[in-house]
Amino acid sequence: MQAVNSFLVAMGRGVGGVVGALYQAGREAIDQIIVNILPFMAFIALVIGIILETGIGDLIANALAPLAGSVVGLIVISLICALPILSPLLGPGAVIAQVVGTLLGSTLIAGGTIHPSLALPALFAINPQVGCDFIPVGLALGEAEPETVEVGVPAILFSRMVTGPIAVILAWLASFGLYADFAG
Partner 1 sequence: MLDFLVWLAEGFIGLFIAGGDVFVSLVTGIVPLLIILLTFVNALIALIGPERIDRVGEWAARDGAIYYPIRYILLPFLATFFLTNPMAYTMGRFLPEKYKPAFYDAAVSYVHPPTGIFPHINPGELFVWLGIAAGIETLGLSVVPLAVRYLLIGLVVIFIRGIVTENITNVMWARRTATAKAAV
Considering the complex, state which of residue 5 and residue 142 has its C-beta at the smaller distance from partner 1. Answer: 142
Q: How far is CA 20 from CA 14, 15, 16, 75, 173, in A?
A: 10, 8, 6, 49, 46
Q: Work out the angle at residue 36's Cα, subtended by the Cα atoms of residues 96 and 30, and round it to the nearest 5 degrees.
A: 155
Taking a C-beta distance cutoff of 8 angstroms, is the pair 68, 16 a contact? no
Residue 179 interacts with partner 1 (CB under 8 A)? yes
Q: With contacts defined by CB under 8 A, how many residues of the chain interact with partner 1? A: 87
Residue 60 interacts with partner 1 (CB under 8 A)? no
CA nearest neighbour of 109 among 182, 49, 9, 20: 182
Amino acid at 137: V
Sole binder of partner 1 in the list 11, 26, 59, 66 (CB under 8 A): 26
Indicate the DSSP class of residue 178. T
**x/- site string to partner 1, residues 92 to 111, per CB under 8 A?**
-xx--xxxxxxxxxxxxxx-
Q: Work out the angle at residue 170's Cα, subtended by the Cα atoms of residues 74 and 115, and round it to the nearest 5 degrees.
A: 50
Residue 112 interacts with partner 1 (CB under 8 A)? yes
Residue 63 interacts with partner 1 (CB under 8 A)? no
Q: Work out the angle at residue 148's Cα, subtended by the Cα atoms of residues 128 and 83, and round it to the nearest 5 degrees.
A: 25
Cα 170 to Cα 38: distance, rounded to the nearest angstrom: 33
Considering the complex, state which of residue 2 and residue 118 has its C-beta at the smaller distance from partner 1. Answer: 118
Residues in 113-142 that interact with partner 1 by CB under 8 A: 116, 119-120, 122-124, 126-127, 130-131, 134-135, 137-139, 141-142
Considering the complex, state which of residue 44 and residue 86 has its C-beta at the smaller distance from partner 1. Answer: 44
- Under DSSP, is residue 114 helix (H, G, I), strand (E, B) or coil? coil
Residue 83 interacts with partner 1 (CB under 8 A)? no
Considering the complex, state which of residue 3 and residue 176 has its C-beta at the smaller distance from partner 1. Answer: 176
Q: Please report how close the Cβ of residue 63 comes to partner 1 at its closest, in angstroms.
A: 17
CB atoms within 10 A of CB 60: 17
Sole binder of partner 1 in the list 9, 37, 59, 63 (CB under 8 A): 37
Considering the complex, state which of residue 9 and residue 37 has its C-beta at the smaller distance from partner 1. Answer: 37
